[in-house]
Amino acid sequence: MDGQHAAAGGNDMPATIAEAAVLLRRGEVSSRELTQACLDVIARVDPLIEACVTVMAEAALARARAADETRNAEDADLGPLFGIPLGIKDLYQTRGVRTTAGSAVLADWVPEEDAAAVTRLAEAGAIALCKTNTHEFAYGTVTPPTRNPWDLERTPGGSSGGSAAAVATGECLGALGTDTGGSIRIPAAACGVTGLKPTFGLVSRHGIVPLSWSLDHAGPIAHTAEDCALLLDAIAGYDPRDPDSVLREPRDYASAVAGVRAPEDAVRGLRIGVPREYFFRSIDPEVESAVRAAIGVFEGLGASVEEVSMPANIDDMIGVYRAVQRPEAYTFHKDQGWLDTRGELYRPDIRNSIRSGEAYTASDYIHGQQARRRFSAELHALLTRVDVLMTPALPVPPRKIAEVDTPLLFAGREEPAGATLRYTFPFNLTGQPACGFTSSRLPIGLQIVAPHWQEEALLRLGHAYQLATDWHTRRHTRRPPLAPA
């Protein structure tokens, strides 16, 4: 076991997908041992953090044994995800396993087919170990009752909070999330892991309970950018069942990351744009300091950093976002009939938020989409002058659960509690890829935004940062050791 492996895992079990894949290939660990180790962590930790909704222990162990038998019988490269235990956000349909979308409305729903991304992971040999908690119908950034494993009094972020918390504790080695306004990047930042919102249309959303069909993205959450690349290789690709899926030549994201032998390789000559307004206007001083220090790491590796101006109308975009997201959410739930037949089963705040979409007119929605297109064009123009944007992922460290409804105060100025979305949602409007990962003691997220279809660049930069720093390898004292069965 190499030094990095020992430091990350604290014992003989790997902490990352990439490490596990090497050990599986060498025969130094079995898929059954990996899976049982994750199940042991779930048994010890999940009563505290409540990240898992359903644990498929028996089925997962059976698949792990089958994976080991296949590996022992075949002298072939079975791929890096073969035999790896993963978490699946409970918005993704799983055949024969209940999918609740975090709601009592769907408490007993057992789908008859897998979501496209779940199918792709299975084809890669991955093992679906658990369904992870989501904010009800992905409509929020707190994910009750899941708790942040770094501090049980704090939120893990959301709506993919269960996925991020499960990865952070070692309950699984990676997980699927969804992102409509920040729901991959926010919990990744809050829980000290890595999350990638791919370009809109890269990963099929077929079989995922929607929040807002023109804003929803599906993507991976894992410990490292390298692991996110491995997951993205498996789940990316055209799917005619998703009307927004885009047919493109396949990319080898893992190879793009593996080509970074030294962090300078990926960073030298990079033009980083740091917005001079909006992203640093209402921000906790600790967050600003950590994010600027992280940007300084890239500058030290050879990047040039310049201040840039965001589109002048960015402050208006939250209204545009709501004019698109709320009518789409309402239309879906109304069309399903749930608001009329199961309305009492929604949490009151979620039901009220969904019903608020009824008040928007067709004109509101059309004007919102038009403003969204103009904003996207302006941001596209900005990203022809720099290679990437770097911003905070959150304005504050993970909030205490008891304070999530309290407005945020910055220099005496009050921001609504919903300000947790302000740094992430603009890039759902534009559909651009964005990556978030940790950069401080209590998790603080750095967000990197690239032009459309530049996932390789994002992942290479994330990997370079993680080669140059050790934030992603740090573990909180509550993390139990991964031990073989």
30 is catalytic: no
Phi and psi at residue 273, in whole multiples of 5°?
Answer: -100, 130
Of 89, 103, 204, 212, which residue is the catalytic one?
Answer: 89
Burial of 261 (0-12, 13-18, 19+ CB in 10 A): exposed
In the three-class reduction of DSSP (H, G, I as helix; E, B as strand; rest coil), residue 2 is classed as coil
182 Cβ contact list (under 8 Å, min separation 6): 141, 393, 420, 421, 423, 424, 425, 428
Torsion angle in degrees (nearest 10) through CA of 370, 273, 195, 333: -10
Of the candidates 177, 180, 208, 211, which has an alpha carbon nearest to the alpha carbon of residue 194? Answer: 177
DSSP class of residue 14 equals -
> DSSP secondary-structure letter at 12?
S
Measure Cα distances from 432 to 216, 228, 363, 428 in Å: 12, 17, 26, 7
Q: Which of 183, 212, 376, 440 is catalytic?
A: 183
Closest C-alpha among 483, 485, 369, 484 to residue 431? 369
Catalytic-residue membership of 309:
no
The answer to whether 159 is a known catalytic residue is yes
Asked if residues 397 and 148 have their Cβ atoms less than 8 Å apart, the reply is no
Annotated catalytic residue: which of 30, 159, 204, 353?
A: 159
Q: What phi and psi, each to the nearest 5 degrees, are found at residue 460?
A: -65, -40
Query: Measured between alpha carbons, how far is 426 from 169 in angstroms, rounded to an integer?
Result: 30
Would you please indicate which residues are annotated as catalytic (active-site) residues? 89, 159, 183
